[in-house]
Amino acid sequence: MHRGESQTAEGQPLKGICSFYSPRMRALWREACASGDLDGFLTAATDRVRVWCETVPVRDTLLARQKMLQQQAMTQALAGVAFQGMENVTMASSAQSGTGMLFGGGTLGWHPTMYGAEAAQANQAMLGGFAQALDGNVWTTMAALEERWKAVA
């Protein structure tokens, strides 16, 4: 059984949010028992669940998206290296020397083989992917969500 899981009377795991495991909630429970203020404790527990629902799933989704973007950017980096290697081998074998054909154009630049143009395209996709994965606004949002959750955890 994982931290935060509860069990039913039959010993089966109960999926859900256990709002009593944190030191803060245990302290609130002790205070409620000492003062007899169960309503105050229930309000705090309800507020904790509400904040969890508003923060943790959103933060986890954003984090998963950023990791996915990083992985996609790394895939593009590997593709760029592979295509650059293919261009190098093609040029070394002189298979295309003297043809005068160039590939690419625009922001890719001009390359003596189609592999060079593919490498340039993959490298641009990698840079764009890392820019998205490292977007400061997303990471700031995740940090704010984490702080909001920690305030009631």
Helices (H), the chain: 23-35, 38-92, 114-133, 136-152
56-67 residues labelled b (16+ CB within 10 A) or e (exposed): beebeeeeeebe
Contacts of residue 123, defined as CB under 8 A and 6 or more positions apart, other chains included, come to 76, 77, 80
Asked whether the beta carbons of 17 and 3 are under 8 A apart, the reply is no
pTM above 0.95, yes or no: no
Give, for all 153 residues of the chain, the pLDDT tens digit.
344 444 455 555 555 556 677 888 889 989 999 999 899 999 998 999 899 999 999 999 999 999 999 999 999 999 999 999 999 998 888 755 656 788 998 999 999 889 999 999 999 999 999 999 999 999 999 999 999 999 998
Separation of alpha carbons 124 and 111, rounded Å: 15
* Confidence at residue 17, expressed as pLDDT on a 0 to 100 scale: 55
